[in-house]
Amino acid sequence: MRRSARRISFSGLAIVSLLIGTQGCFITSSPPVANQGGGDAAAEKLTAAALKMEQAADRLAAAADRLSKLELRVASGTGPAASEATASPTTVEAKPAETAASSTEAKLIREVDELYAKYPDVPRVDILKELDGIEIPRVKAGSGKTLELGAGIPVDVGNPHAANKPSQPVKGDQVIVRFNSEPKSLNPVIEQSAVQTYMGQYIQEALARQDNETFEFVPHLATKWIIEDSVKLSPDYPGKKYRLVMGDGTPRPSAEIEYLAPAKKESQGEPEVMKIVVKTVNEEGQPIAKGWVGLFPIGKILGAPTTGYHNWSNEQGELVISGIIPGKYRVLTGSEIYGKVKPLADGAIEVTPLSEENPLKQALPPGQTSLVLKADEYQDIQRETWMTFYLDPRAKWSDGTPFTSTDLKFAFAVLNNITVDCDAVRTYYSDLTDLDALSPLVVRMRYRQQYFKAFEFGAGIGLYTPPFEFFKNRLKTQTTEPAITGYELTLDRLTEAEEDAQKKVSAHGKRFGKFFNLDTAYNQTPLGTGPYMVESWKKTDRVILSRNDSYWLPERSGYLDKLIFRFLPDNTTALQSLRAGEIDFNYRMDPEQFTKDLAGPPDWFKDKFIKADWYTPNYGYYCWNLNRPYFKDQRVRMALAMLFEKEAFLKNKMYNLGTMVSGSQYYFGPGYDHSVKSVDYSPETARDLLATAGWIDTNRDGILDRDGVKLSFEALIPPGNPVIDDRTALLQKTLKQVGIDMQISRMEWAAFVERLKAKDFDVVTLSWAMPVESDPFQLWHSSGATPESRGSNAGSFANNLADELIEKIRVTLEPDKRALLNYSLHRLLDAQQPYLFLYCSKDLGAYHKRFRGVKWYRLRPGFDLAEWYVPKDEQVHKSE
């Protein structure tokens, strides 16, 4: 699923740009496979081997020859030395321009090194300089330094009309925006398509708003929040003794279990999943409701959280452990308190309750502000998992009802109602274990475990909050679920019989879930707290939002009377509609249109419209299936990376509307290591590297082979994307030149996804859209590398160091340290090349020049129409 970058947290860290580190290299190349066999076969292999050696020698000679020529070129100061100079740094006399660049580089290198010095426990990974003695060519272009975050984003860039005629924001007029697809529903709980999210940002609001420029969280529906740490006391803590009861019925302070993988049965049906029942009890054996049970891996269990699984028993003190990663675990229990944790000497800690609502505050003796726990008095700390939000008393829904903690509690019930069709959001919120309304304006949440995105999810729940009062009223008259018409909506848990007896319907229940999925009142015209309201939705054509003139936060109110979103899937139609004045803002143009069709620009465009391009978090890639024998070899993958003319393609086919990337974090986000330059195009080096890896054209048929296997594979590409078609054709051509045969297979989307998920491909190309800082777990953790796993690690990348880094990234809350962990992962991915990383491409659009206040942000979708306005004398659509 996609998430709007606006919902994504990271504590305001200005990006640190870095450049190449020089020490050593990180290599995990596989050893060459020895030839084995007998008789004729052996003789044949010997001949082949001899031939290979001969060819390898040829290549080496050729390489030496090239090197000497290169030196010559460099010495005489001519020729395209810039891209090839890396071949022999010692002989290169740096040009003045390069000196400037390298001094910036040196500075950046120092910065990373300082970070490594500051955090010695972060595994250090150096940028790969050479592989099997062959130097890795790197591009020189694009340091990324010019594009820092946090800088004030200029307004009305490229609009001379706006510059010549200064104006003040004023209300009135409307904008018609083109979207290329239509959402199925406008209900944010059951639909999270990009288009729904983009429209939803004017309707639904979060508790904390992410600033478009700094990416920092600022108060919104909540005026403030207090974040505290969770501490689990030891089971023998005086007055709070906790015991576990398992199969045999004996209460004990802790236990060890072995969770077994479900037996694979040949017969049909779901495999039986192991279930372990645990009870939390006190000393006397009386059940303790909502008692903490922690499961901590004994030794290393792949994919299991190193910080443990955290669960809480139900009202009866029971908990069923199921669906965890198989392995041995220590099971712990104990009372839980929370507050700000400060480490003291000898493993002791000081817990200070910060929020007034914290029960620890009342429990402390008068005059005492904190509790000191000795090392043996607590068993586990999870940082920043308790969040108390204080809602703005002014906040209200567009129908005038106040926005309260009941609405959030309702949201929590709906998101956890398994009948509600919101599987994707539910996955996100599965770790938000509790949400309590402490008063109409105070809400407290608990996140399951320490996680750098916990706050983002907690604050983001506002975006998925349906209005409680609205649904209460709607139930009185609705006909979607006749069985519950006239029933009163409640947040209590009731069975269907109880519902009927009390004439109430539970938000947790099946019948409400079904009603919620199907009732059109909210699905088509959802109510929100935002600056705009849904006026109407003409299916297959447009959604009209109108300004909420009684918006609770007048200073953030929109200017335009209406925001109209038209659904025009075809790019050509969209451009013609712009020309005909049927739309005002053509969002998502393709590069060809943007540069070729609007070259000049043509007369019809010149006087009326402004072109705009901006970055959003994304990158394109080729993913090698590492289960294929030829892609298992790091040298082959690295050689393939050298066989794509990245720079040339970016310039010629993408018209420089993008930037090259070398890792999987957002180029402008905090996790991107700018010191890692992309691997450069260099067929000669690639050829050498392939030869080293044993890939030589022994039978002289034009295709490289090794041990009788040809280097021939198929690229799976999705339909309807000309840029992907072009780049794949180019890659095919350059691969062909060194003797690699790549066939292209284009499949329509459903079939494409099926093969992708089944890991049934050699190489696949796509792009990822991600948040500003993404959690690398889904993409790169080895738990997703199994053939059965249908997750995002489609290429089956598995690397122990990567796993360690990823697990650390998830639980590291300190932004600088997490950035450094991300840099290490970035360098590792660059060295391993599980993907051929391509570009972060720009989003393109054109809009009418009468609009002012236009800013292009570096997150998705990149514009905020609530800031756009039209000066009074230029307004086209007068409000009636």
Partner 1 sequence: MATYIFRRLLLMIPTLFGILVLSFIVIKSTPGDPASGRFGGAAAAQGGMNAERGTEDAEKAFRKNFKLDEPLYVQFFWFVGRIFRGEMIYYTKQGSIWPDLIPAMKITLMINSIVFLLVYLLAIPMGIFSATAPHSTGDRIMTLTLFVLYSLPSFWVAEMLRLGVLESNLGLPVSGLQSPNADRLSLLPWLWDYTLHLVLPILCMTYASLAYISRQMRAGMLEVVRQDYIRTAKAKGCSPARVIWVHALRNSLFPIITLFASLLPALIGGSVIIEYIFNIPGMGKLTIDSVFSREYDMILVTMMLSAVLTLLGILISDIMYVLVDPRVSFESKN
By CB under 8 A, the residues from 133 to 192 that bind partner 1 are: 174, 176, 180-181, 184-185, 190-191
Interactions with partner 1, residue window 839-878 (CB under 8 A): 877
Q: Does 542 bind partner 1 (CB under 8 A)?
A: yes
Q: Does 756 bind partner 1 (CB under 8 A)?
A: yes
Q: Which is nearer to partner 1, 193 or 254 (CB)?
A: 193
Site residue total, partner 1 (CB under 8 A): 78
Angle between the N-to-C axes of helices 800-811 and 815-832, in degrees from 0 to 180, rounded to the nearest 10: 160
Q: Does 495 bind partner 1 (CB under 8 A)?
A: no
Three-state secondary structure string covering 270-295: CCCCCEEEEEEECCCCCECCCCEEEE
Q: Are 338 and 433 in contact (CB under 8 A)?
A: no
Min dist. Cβ of residue 578 to partner 1 (A): 10
Q: Are 624 and 641 in contact (CB under 8 A)?
A: no
Q: Which of 660, 855, 767 is nearest to 144 (CA)?
A: 660
Q: Which is nearer to partner 1, 72 or 604 (CB)?
A: 604
Q: Which is nearer to partner 1, 328 or 538 (CB)?
A: 538
Interactions with partner 1, residue window 678-737 (CB under 8 A): 718-721
Q: Does 755 bind partner 1 (CB under 8 A)?
A: yes
Q: Does 275 bind partner 1 (CB under 8 A)?
A: no
Among the listed residues 13, 109, 177, 194, the single contact to partner 1 using CB under 8 A: 194
Q: Are 839 and 620 in contact (CB under 8 A)?
A: yes
Q: Does 125 bind partner 1 (CB under 8 A)?
A: no
Among the listed residues 410, 752, 797, 856, the single contact to partner 1 using CB under 8 A: 752
Q: Which is nearer to partner 1, 577 or 833 (CB)?
A: 577
Q: Which is nearer to partner 1, 30 or 572 (CB)?
A: 572
DSSP 8-state symbol, 594: I
Q: Which is nearer to partner 1, 325 or 769 (CB)?
A: 769
Min dist. Cβ of residue 755 to partner 1 (A): 7
Q: Are 190 and 528 in contact (CB under 8 A)?
A: no
Site string for partner 1, 403-422 (x = CB under 8 A): ------------------x-
Q: Does 805 bind partner 1 (CB under 8 A)?
A: no
CA end-to-end span of the chain, whole Å? 40
Q: Does 273 bind partner 1 (CB under 8 A)?
A: no
Angle at 127 between CA 125 and CA 128, to 5 degrees: 110
Among the listed residues 38, 540, 555, 873, the single contact to partner 1 using CB under 8 A: 540
Among the listed residues 93, 258, 423, 492, the single contact to partner 1 using CB under 8 A: 423
d(Cα 441, Cα 791) in Å, to the nearest integer? 39
Among the listed residues 573, 652, 656, 737, the single contact to partner 1 using CB under 8 A: 573
50: left (phi over 0), alpha (psi -120 to 50) or beta: alpha
Q: Which is nearer to partner 1, 708 or 719 (CB)?
A: 719
Min dist. Cβ of residue 520 to partner 1 (A): 8
Q: Which is nearer to partner 1, 355 or 812 (CB)?
A: 812
Among the listed residues 150, 790, 804, 817, the single contact to partner 1 using CB under 8 A: 790
Q: Are 857 and 213 in contact (CB under 8 A)?
A: yes
Give the residues across from 375 on adjacent strands: none
Min dist. Cβ of residue 550 to partner 1 (A): 23
Sheet holding 309-312, edge to edge: 254-259, 327-334, 292-297, 309-312
Q: Which is nearer to partner 1, 85 or 724 (CB)?
A: 724
For residue 291, what are the CA distances in angstroms to 288, 331, 800?
6, 13, 34
d(Cα 754, Cα 744) in Å, to the nearest integer? 17
Q: Which is nearer to partner 1, 398 or 765 (CB)?
A: 765
Q: Does 568 bind partner 1 (CB under 8 A)?
A: yes
- How many C-beta atoms lie closer than 10 Å to residue 791's C-beta? 15
Q: Which of 24, 22, 135 is nearest to 70 (CA)?
A: 135
Q: Residue 580 half-sphere exposure, CB side, CA atoms within 13 Å?
A: 7
Q: Does 772 bind partner 1 (CB under 8 A)?
A: no
Angle between the N-to-C axes of helices 634-641 and 815-832, in degrees from 0 to 180, rounded to the nearest 10: 90
Q: Does 511 bind partner 1 (CB under 8 A)?
A: no
Q: Does 766 bind partner 1 (CB under 8 A)?
A: yes
Q: Which is nearer to partner 1, 323 or 393 (CB)?
A: 323
Q: Which is nearer to partner 1, 742 or 756 (CB)?
A: 756
**Residue found under tokens 């984003």:** 153
Q: Does 834 bind partner 1 (CB under 8 A)?
A: no
Q: Which is nearer to partner 1, 641 or 779 (CB)?
A: 779
Q: Would you give the distance in Å from CA 427 to the centre of its chain? A: 14
Min dist. Cβ of residue 685 to partner 1 (A): 30
Interactions with partner 1, residue window 579-638 (CB under 8 A): 579-580, 582, 588, 604, 618, 620
- Which of these ranges, 26-34, 344-352, 674-682, 769-777, lies near partner 1 under the rule CB under 8 A? 769-777
Among the listed residues 35, 151, 754, 876, the single contact to partner 1 using CB under 8 A: 754
d(Cα 370, Cα 380) in Å, to the nearest integer? 18
Q: Does 3 bind partner 1 (CB under 8 A)?
A: yes
Q: Does 570 bind partner 1 (CB under 8 A)?
A: yes
Among the listed residues 774, 782, 822, 833, the single contact to partner 1 using CB under 8 A: 774
- Report the run of H or E that residue 113 belongs to, with start and end: helix 96-118
Q: Are 509 and 498 in contact (CB under 8 A)?
A: no
Give the residues across from 724 on adjacent strands: none
Min dist. Cβ of residue 750 to partner 1 (A): 3
- 3-state SS class at 55: helix
Q: Does 303 bind partner 1 (CB under 8 A)?
A: no
- Which of these ranges, 222-230, 434-442, 540-548, 801-809, lies near partner 1 under the rule CB under 8 A? 540-548
Q: Does 42 bind partner 1 (CB under 8 A)?
A: no
Buried b (16+ CB within 10 A) or exposed e, 143-180: bbeebebeeeeeebeebebbeeeeeeeebbbbbbbbbe
Min dist. Cβ of residue 226 to partner 1 (A): 27
Angle at 61 between CA 57 and CA 64, to 5 degrees: 140
Q: Does 567 bind partner 1 (CB under 8 A)?
A: yes
Q: Does 223 bind partner 1 (CB under 8 A)?
A: no
For 120, phi then psi, to 5°, come to -65, -20
d(Cα 317, Cα 319) in Å, to the nearest integer? 7
For residue 79, what are the CA distances in angstroms to 83, 396, 808?
10, 67, 46
